Amino acid sequence: MKREDLLIKELNLQAHPEGGFYKETYRSEGVILEKHLPENFEGSRNYCTSIYFLLKTNEFSAFHRINQDENWYFHEGSSLTIHQISPDGIYTKTVLGSTILEGEVFQHTVPKNYWFGATVNQPDSYSLVGCTVSPGFDFKDFELANSKQLQKKFPDHKIIIEELTR
Ligand code: GUN
């Protein structure tokens, strides 16, 4: 069995709607009440959540956005590129990996409300990373991009948007 499929099995990862496979590994007991959260949150949220996230080569994490910052941590496998577009249309990419002398980073924060997706850098490989958000994750805060709408909003980034949407 390929190592990525072994990891999916051993870590009990499930398919994620953005692409790739994930499992929640932590959800804090503590809850932040809706009245203490910014207005765009509907309902209460746990303080914090963490997941494993595994992406295979030739797959992608599609452009999506959430209401809170997301911290990414490299675990193993190929380096992974995080592609992000800020709300005012600036595209940047960050390589999450372990070759820090060549500009890769072990950790990266995607700011809240940025559109972001990810791709694996090495052929025939995978990336295993961790993602943590606070307030804790809820699919109510998660929006997958509509390809045509995002291309219309950010025409300068049409090619990468076409690549990272379904
Ligand atoms: N739980 C389910 N999906 C996600 C996700 O995309 N990010 C984080 N941090 N937690 C999740």
Kindly give the distance from the C-alpha atom of residue 137 to the centroid of ligand 1, in angstroms, as a whole number. Answer: 6
Pick the closest to residue 145 from 74, 83, 92, 59 (CA basis). Answer: 83
Domain 3-163 in this protein, CATH class: mainly beta
Q: Please report the pLDDT score of residue 161 as a whole number.
A: 98
Average pLDDT value over all residues in the chain = 98
Instruction: List the chain domain ranges.
Output: 3-163
Q: What residues does ligand 1 touch, defined as CB less than 6 Å away?
A: 16, 22, 24, 49, 51, 70, 131-133, 137
CB 117 within 8 A of CB 62: yes
Instruction: Please state, for a pLDDT cut of 70, what percent of the chain lies above it.
Output: 100
Instruction: Determine the Cα angle at 83 with ends 80 and 87, to 5°.
Output: 155
Which residue's C-alpha comes closest to atom 11 of ligand 1?
A: 137
Q: How many CA atoms lie within 13 A of 112 on its CB side?
A: 12
pLDDT grade, residue 28 (50/70/90)? Answer: very high
Q: What is the pLDDT of residues 61-96, one digit of tens each?
A: 999 999 999 999 999 999 999 999 999 999 999 999
Q: What is the pLDDT of residues 105-148, one digit of tens each?
A: 999 999 999 999 999 999 999 999 999 999 999 999 999 999 99
Question: Could you give the CA distance from residue 89 to residue 102 in angstroms, rounded to a whole number?
Answer: 27
Mean pLDDT over 34-52 rounds to 98
